[in-house]
Each structure stands twice: as C-alpha cells, then as structure tokens.
Amino acid sequence: MSLATLLLLADGRLPSGGHAHSGGLEPQIAAGRVRDIRELDGFLRGKLATGGLVSAAFAAAACADVGRAAELDAGLDARTPSPALRKASRAQGRALLRAGRAMWRLAPLPSREPHQPVALGALSSAAGLTPVEAGVAAAHGTITGSASAAVRLLGLDPYAVHALLARLAPECDRIAALAAERHGDPVDDLPAAGAPLLDIGAEHHATWEVRLFAS
C-alpha cells in the first residue's frame, strides 16, 4: 500500500471534473430538503449508505479484476435509472481516465466513457492499490464533492463542513470494508441500493436553464 497514492487518487484537486458536480445536492437544496449543516449531515449519510456503497463495491471489484470492466459497467447502468445521472457518471469516468493515463499505465478498458466507479477501480489497480483502498476512495468521493458544493450553494461555514466530513470518516471506512468483501461476487449480487429522490432530482435538474453544477 502507498498511502500517498491513495491520497492522490482521493484528492479533490485531481483534474477529473468532480468539482463541476454537486452529487445531486443542488436540486435537493432547491427543493428545500437540505438547508443547513444538520440536514447536510443526513444527506451525506444517506448518500454513503446508498450510492456510496454501490460505488465502493464496483470500484473495489474493478480494482480486483479490470477484466470485468464491461460487465461492471453494464451493472452500474442497470443500477442508475436516471439518464442524467448515467451521463454525469460517464463524463466523470472519462475525465478520470484522462487524468489517470497521465500518471499510470492503465489496462485497456472496453469503453472510453466508463462509469466513474469502474474508472476509479481501474486507476486504483494501475496505481497498485487494493480493493478496499479503491473502496475508500470511492466512498470518500461520494460525500466530499457534495460537501464542497454545500459550501458554495448554502454559504455554510467550511470549517463546520469539514468537521462533518471528519465525523463521517469512520463510516467511509466501514462502507469501504463492506464493499471490498464483495469484490469477487457476480455483478448481479453486488450492492444495488438506490436513492429515488436523487434520480428524480437529477432529471429535474437537467432541465434547468441556469444552474451552478452539471449534476
């Protein structure tokens, strides 16, 4: 394990396009569901338990065996009913691969625009990380992007937001460990937890003429 490599992959400053996405937070704020740090806490915990677990499981599986990328990608398509979220995930996957190719020698992937967790797993493998470390990066990324967006969208105290992320760190580790235990499971048996309000919000968000984030 290289801790520095894991930190590099999980760094929000990695030029992978993540800064352009709110992780579904922008439409939830517009709907009045997230208004303060307490409600952001609930939102992030919900994301970890659903999308975070799914992303971590698929990143861990791709890290363990990049040869499964095509079936893992199809499995994520089936778990993402919102066309807007599928588009956002693939856009981030494409950008992540571009960044990864500048840093490591990547195994060939069947798609130039894989879902973000599959791309993250492929990069983790190329960087010499383990499935659980890929899961940590995925779980961590699930909440940090939304947390950063909350500071911009709600004007929250960044110190309070990062204190919240610190409190959620053990939950990220727990989710990643659960996900990594499943890395060898058939695709149909991997976690499929959903968040219908995020799917609905993403479709509404895609119709807005003015928005701060792409998703």
Model pLDDT for residues 163-210, shown as the tens digit of each residue: 999 999 999 999 999 999 999 999 999 999 999 999 999 999 999 998
Q: What is the largest CA-CA distance in the chain?
A: 45
C-alpha span between 137 and 212 (Å, rounded): 25
What are φ and ψ of residue 177, in 5° steps?
-65, -45
C-alpha span between 197 and 23 (Å, rounded): 12
Cα dihedral value 133, 137, 142, 144, nearest 10? 130
* Cα 130 → chain centroid: 17
Q: How many CB atoms lie within 10 A of CB 26?
A: 25
What the block records as the tokens of 192 is: 């499929």
Angle (CA) 112 117 120, round 5°: 75
C-alpha span between 31 and 20 (Å, rounded): 20
pLDDT tens-digit map of 40-62: 999 999 999 999 999 999 999 99
pTM equals 0.94
Q: Percent of the chain scored above 90 by pLDDT?
A: 84
User: Quick one: pLDDT at residue 13?
Assistant: 83
